[in-house]
Amino acid sequence: MLQAREDAIIRSVNLLLAEKGFEAMTVDEVAANVGIAKASLYKHFPSKEDLAAAAMAHLMEQALAFLGSLPEEQAPLEKLRAVVRWMMRLKLGGEMPSLPSQNSTLRTTLVAHKAYMDGLMGVSDRLGAWIEEAQAQGLINPKLPAIAVLYTLYARACDPVMEFLKMGGLNTDEEIIELVLSTCFDGLNAR
């Protein structure tokens, strides 16, 4: 029952972070969404930052599971495209947490959260290897530092272009994903 309650808390935090972002999310909202008292919530997670870190650790678990589900024989560039497509589906589905990059308290909590950091390092290592393979194959510009490519791919998880296109109402979610994938991987130059 304890694990079920923590799972419900993390689901609620994840959805609120996706909908409102860290700054606007409140602990009261999380407790109300789960149907528990705020005091009970604090027994599981001592702070708002700890709630966000748990949600991000859960996201890293999901990401590692997704990466592990990709066929070993799939080309590295196609694996990278699949990962970015997966992230964008989460974003458009309202399931991608939105965290501020400038909150030092949150950053400190995330860096100290072992499960999050282990997950982030696992995801980054795997993506980094695929980036380097794709660069060696000439499919990604080898002059670009792999870390810059990695951060560019991570940025698609919080890309406002998708929301703008969605608000325009001219494209389905899948069309939006393909448009953003094309600009990300193929660039803007006419070929």
Mean pLDDT of 116-141: 96
- Asked whether the beta carbons of 87 and 96 are under 8 A apart, the reply is yes
Picking from 160, 10, 187, 14, the residue whose alpha carbon sits closest to that of residue 92 is: 160
Summarize pLDDT for 86-121 with one digit per residue, the tens.
999 999 998 888 877 777 888 899 999 999 999 999
- Asked whether the beta carbons of 89 and 173 are under 8 A apart, the reply is yes
**How would CATH label the architecture of 2-186?**
Orthogonal Bundle (1.10)
A 10 A CB-CB count for 62 gives 15
- Asked whether the beta carbons of 17 and 35 are under 8 A apart, the reply is no
What's the pTM?
0.89
pLDDT of amino acid 189? 76
Summarize pLDDT for 142-167 with one digit per residue, the tens.
999 999 999 999 999 888 899 999 99
Instruction: With cut-offs at 50, 70 and 90, classify the pLDDT of residue 190.
Output: low
